[in-house]
């Protein structure tokens, strides 16, 4: 026969076990901030980024447990930005997780290494809305909300109490997501801070923003490079550049592969830029180093005509 003391001990073990499981779950990804967001760079709304920051250590187990969604100005019609499929490596308190659109790489000072690729925030959601870091499980729901747009945002501002003392992240930040410069919307508190209100917690960076990936590498946002069809870097645009474009056509690539407009792909848009810039005069300093520019121009025109004729007959 089991004594009352034995039953009490068993009860305490079970309770402690459940508490430990709960604590481990909370210590996996729940203590997280939406630290920084940019909705576009110098008007290019295809260049977007979201940076998360861990409020405590061991918050790296985001894979298959969490996601980021964006809601419209009424707090409805969610769009999935990223569903985290894997974990990240670094888990020290204050570590970041960087999520970007593919074109964001064309707006950083060094080659970008993003932790995850995101779907773009719809343009119609940039003026007012809510970005929410959420658990996949409805048990925890919204873990951190960034509501923006001031009075134009009319949706709910509430979430869970894990990262906000009362579960209310409102009122919203007073303006839209930044898109017209290199500034971003940045959380002003320490990595360990809870949310108070979005209006009090967030402000635009004073100058160009810097985003950091999970490895700790910082990337400063810069204006995209000007269109250039000088693929070989020899100070002129000629038939050699056309041949480079032709070899890279239809594939991803950078300037050296024939990408003239910095969108990460080599295609007909880059050929159009080559055609425009080919008519520019060769710099005087380059005449001595470019053999027979007239003959090279004829060759280039012939190659272009042959390419177009081939395209029409295919």
Range 138-174 burial, b when 16+ CB lie within 10 A, else e: eebebbbbbbbbeeebebbbbbbebbbeebbbbebbe
pTM score, two decimals?
0.71
Q: Which of 2.60.40.1260, 3.40.50.11900, 1.10.1240.10, 2.40.10.10 would CATH assign to domain 28-220? A: 2.60.40.1260
| Domain layout of the chain by residue ranges | 28-220, 239-313
- Model confidence pLDDT, tens digit, residues 118-144: 999 999 999 999 999 999 987 788 999
Q: Token digits for 6?
A: 């034995």
Residues 75-111 pLDDT 10s = 999 999 999 999 999 999 999 999 999 999 999 999 9
For residue 41, the cross-strand partners are 44
Strand partners, 185: 37, 204
Average pLDDT score over residue span 205-230:
92
* C-beta separation of 172 from 150 below 8 A: yes
CA–CA dist 270, 272 (Å, integer): 5
Closest CA to 124 of 60, 79, 90: 79
């Amino acid at each position: 026969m089991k004594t009352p003391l034995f039953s009490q001990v068993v009860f305490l073990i079970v309770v402690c076990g459940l508490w430990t499981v709960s604590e481990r779950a909370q210590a996996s990804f729940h203590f997280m901030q939406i630290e920084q967001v940019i909705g576009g760079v110098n008007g290019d709304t295809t260049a977007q980024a979201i940076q998360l920051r861990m409020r405590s250590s061991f918050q790296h187990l985001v894979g298959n447990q969490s996601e980021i969604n964006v809601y419209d100005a009424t707090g409805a019609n969610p769009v999935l930005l990223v569903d985290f499929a894997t974990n990240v490596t670094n888990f020290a308190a204050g570590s970041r997780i960087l999520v970007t659109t593919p074109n964001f790489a064309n707006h950083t000072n060094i080659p970008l290494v993003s932790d995850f690729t995101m779907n773009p925030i719809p343009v119609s959601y940039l003026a007012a809305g809510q970005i929410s870091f959420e658990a996949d499980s409805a048990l925890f729901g919204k873990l951190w909300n960034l509501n923006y747009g001031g009075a134009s945002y009319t949706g709910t501002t509430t979430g869970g109490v894990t990262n906000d003392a009362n579960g209310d992240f409102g009122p919203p930040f007073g303006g839209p997501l930044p898109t017209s410069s290199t500034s971003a919307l940045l959380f002003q508190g320490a990595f360990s801070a809870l949310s108070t209100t979005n209006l009090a917690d967030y402000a635009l960076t004073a100058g160009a923003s810097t985003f950091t990936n999970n490895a700790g590498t910082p990337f400063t946002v810069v204006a995209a490079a000007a269109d250039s069809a000088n693929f070989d870097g020899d100070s002129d645009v000629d038939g050699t550049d056309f041949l480079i474009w032709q070899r890279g056509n239809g594939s991803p690539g950078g300037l050296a592969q024939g990408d003239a407009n910095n969108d990460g792909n080599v295609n007909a848009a880059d050929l159009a830029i080559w055609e425009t810039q080919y008519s520019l005069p060769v710099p005087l300093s380059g005449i001595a180093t470019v053999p027979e520019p007239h003959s090279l121009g004829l060759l280039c025109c012939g190659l272009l005509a042959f390419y177009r004729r081939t395209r029409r007959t295919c």
